[in-house]
Amino acid sequence: MADVSQVGLSRAVGGGSTRSTGLVRAGGVAAVVAGVVMGVHEWWDDRVPGIQEGVVPSALHSTWVALMFVGFLGLSALQWPAFGRFGRLASGLAVGGSGSLFVLALNETWGFVRSDGAPQGDPPLPVLVVMFAVLGCYVAGLLLFPLATIRAGVLPRAVGIFLLVSVLLKIFASGVLPGTLALMGAAFATMGLAALRVVRSERTAPGQPSESSKRPASA
C-alpha cells in the first residue's frame, strides 16, 4: 500500500485549499443535522403504529437524504487522498445513491403536497425499475462507505464501525428493534463530528504533518 502524501491531505483539509476545507466542513455539519432529522423522523413515525405516509414524513425523509448527500460529499473530500480503488467506489455509490434517492424522495414529497396528503398510486414499471436501481446503489453505498472509512484510517475506525453496525441493524432488524433509524442518524452524526474535529486539528497546526496524513492509503 502506498503512503498518502502529507501535502495532499493537508491541502484537502488545511489552509492549502479553502474550497476543499469548506466542503468538508459543510459535509460535517450536514451529517450532524441529518442525524438529528433522522431522529425526528423516527419519533414522528413511532407516534402511530404502521407505515406512515403523508407530507410530513415524506418531507422529513427528503430532508435527511439531502443532508446525507452533502455529508457524503464532505466526508469523501476529507478521505479522498487516503481512499484506494475500493474507497473511491464506495464514495461514488454513497454520493450517487443518496443524491439519486433525494430526487426520488423530493418527487414523492411534491406528489403528497399536490394531492393534499392522499396516498399515491403505484408508479409505472419503468419508474419502479429505476427506483430499485437507486435503492440498490444507496444501500450498497451505506454498507461500503463505513468499510472504506475503516480502511482509510483518516477518521477514527470506531465511527466507521458504528455506522456499519447501525446500517446493518436498520436493514435487517428494523422490524424487531425500535429506533434503528435514529441509531443510524446518531452514527452518521458522529462521523460528521469526527470530520469536523480533523479539520479543526489540521488548521491549528497547518505547518506540521497530521496524524491522518501519515496513514496509508487503502488498496
Residue 134 has which C-alpha cell? 437507486
| Residue 16: pLDDT over 50 | no
What does the pLDDT read at residue 160?
Answer: 97
Tell me the per-residue pLDDT of 91-138, one tens digit each, with 9 for 90 and over: 999 999 999 999 999 998 988 888 776 666 677 888 899 999 999 999
Quote the pTM value: 0.82
Tell me the per-residue pLDDT of 30-66, one tens digit each, with 9 for 90 and over: 999 999 999 999 998 887 766 667 888 899 999 999 9
Burial class (CB in 10 A: 0-12, 13-18, 19+), 11: middle
| CA 124 vs CA 54, 117, 129, 130: distances in Å | 20, 20, 9, 10
| Residue 214: pLDDT over 70 | no
What does the pLDDT read at residue 12?
Answer: 42
